[in-house]
Amino acid sequence: MVPELKGKKVLIGITGGIAVYKICDLVRRLKKDGLEVKVLMTEFSTRFVSPMTFEVLSGNPVFTDWSNDPLAHIHLARWADTFLIAPCTVNTLSKIATAQGDNLLTTTVLAYDGPLLIAPAANHVMLSQKAVRKNIDSLIKDRSAVVIKPEEGLLACDEEGEGKLPSVERLYDWIVWSLMPKPLEGKKVLVTAGATREYLDPVRFISNDSSGEMGFALTRTARWLGAEVTVVAGSFRADPPPEVDLIEVVSASQMLEKVLALYPEQDIVIMNSAVADFRPTDRSASKIKKEESLTIKLTRNPDILERLGREKKNQFLVGFALETENILENAREKMERKNLDMIVANPASAIGSRDYRGWIIYKDSEEEITAPSKLSAALKIIERIARLTAP
């Protein structure tokens, strides 16, 4: 849940496609997170899921025509903070692109001037038609609409291709994106996440318990605030964020190589990954056999954050510090030693915890942050970075 979104108004337009059932879960999730939802359906879409279903889930009347309000298209358009059409058939997509208003949904689109999200779902051949592609381009260029790319897979017609309605998670993410301010628009942000692994042999490795959840939360919220985000991730258990470039690596050396290659073009770099401090000096090409004892010689890994601090030019560099004692003092020393612009300090109790407590430290001051989730904490951190990097 993102507390900043509580009470925001989401209008969902539904057209006639088998994927209508997915929107039930989307409406439920939006309501659970405190957003207001109203649903607008075409006549044909009501054959897949009844309006009563969405009325119960949304807690609001469902609109299909003007029978209860002759100005429904105006009232709905003025009510909404964002407008998602999903699933959007090729027929409705083409009507919107050519400014037709022959039903309540398409007429409401004509009366609406806020963020417009369109999620097409159709047979892959239909979506690849030149005229359809032209209409999609027109919606993006002339209407500033976001056309959410369909997913690949088995379609309702039993054909394989790109035409599936995006997942509920992706639709939800785009809705949140459309409702957030964009202080990081035009900025490139690099985030590292997860844990690196240093292999002793083909099956055993040295690592740590990082899930990647905080790194991915930082990635997701940076995108919400308008940044172009790339995430370099080691091993992780958390679900990776949608709509961002994800580069997966294994070892600290691989992470260093990828980060250094991307570093020069970045505006902001957030090093959240839990990088192994040491690696085995020698790696066995075959599985090490069980013995009474085993001595492993370790070699220190390169300090990626320190290297970035040395080579920093105009980048805003952010690090993280997990401490068991003298949290603020140790974190500030690390910030100064590694030439960071900001550091986030966490107590060891943050590992595995659902809620969050930490400190943002920069220049000669610090602020404590508490949040009910790592996602909420990440948003606070990214908002602080946005303010500190504003022109």
CB 162 within 8 Å of CB 150 = yes
The residue-averaged pLDDT of 252-267 equals: 97
Helical ranges in 225-303 per DSSP H: 252-262
CB 188 within 8 Å of CB 266 = yes
Separation between Cα atoms, residue 248 and residue 57, nearest integer Å: 38
- Backbone φ and ψ for 250, nearest 5 degrees, come out as -115, -60
- Every domain of the chain and the residues it spans: 3-179, 188-388
The β-bridge partners of 199 are 205
N- to C-terminal Cα separation, the chain: 30
The candidate with the shortest Cα–Cα distance to 189, out of 237, 234, 221, is 221
Q: Is 20 helix (H, G, I), strand (E, B) or coil?
A: helix
Separation between Cα atoms, residue 278 and residue 297, nearest integer Å: 10
pLDDT of res. 161: 74
Distances (CA, A) of 334 to 4, 23, 319: 32, 47, 9
User: If you count DSSP H runs as helices and E runs as strands, how many of each does the chain have, helices first?
Assistant: 13, 19
Q: What amino acid positions are annotated as catalytic residues?
A: 157
pLDDT digits (tens, 9 = 90+) for 312-323: 999 999 999 988
Kindly report whether the peptide bond that precedes residue 87 is cis, defined as omega within 30 degrees of 0. Answer: yes
Which amino acid is present at 159?
E
Least confident of 48-52, 91-95, 219-223, 296-300: 296-300
Separation between Cα atoms, residue 310 and residue 288, nearest integer Å: 39
Separation between Cα atoms, residue 89 and residue 172, nearest integer Å: 19
Please report how the helices 90-97 and 104-111 are oriented relative to each other, as an axis angle in degrees rounded to 10: 40
Q: Left if phi > 0, otherwise alpha if psi is -120 to 50, otherwise beta: which for 7?
A: left
pLDDT of res. 299: 92
**Position of tokens 């309702």?**
156
- Confidence class for position 221, pLDDT limits 50, 70, 90: very high
Buried b (16+ CB within 10 A) or exposed e, 280-303: beeeeeeeeeeeeeeeeeeeebee
Separation between Cα atoms, residue 118 and residue 96, nearest integer Å: 10
The candidate with the shortest Cα–Cα distance to 226, out of 146, 171, 305, 166, is 146
pLDDT of res. 352: 61
pLDDT digits (tens, 9 = 90+) for 145-196: 999 999 887 777 777 777 789 999 999 999 999 999 999 999 999 999 999 9
Instruction: Specify the CATH superfamily of domain 188-388.
Output: CoaB-like (3.40.50.10300)
By DSSP bridging, strand 356-362 and strand 298-300 are unpaired
Q: Does domain 3-179 have CATH number 3.20.20.70?
A: no
For residue 224, how many other CB atoms are within 10 A of its CB?
Answer: 27
pLDDT of res. 291: 75
The whole-angstrom distance between residue 106's C-alpha and the CA centroid of its chain comes to: 29
Same topology for domains 3-179 and 188-388, yes or no? yes
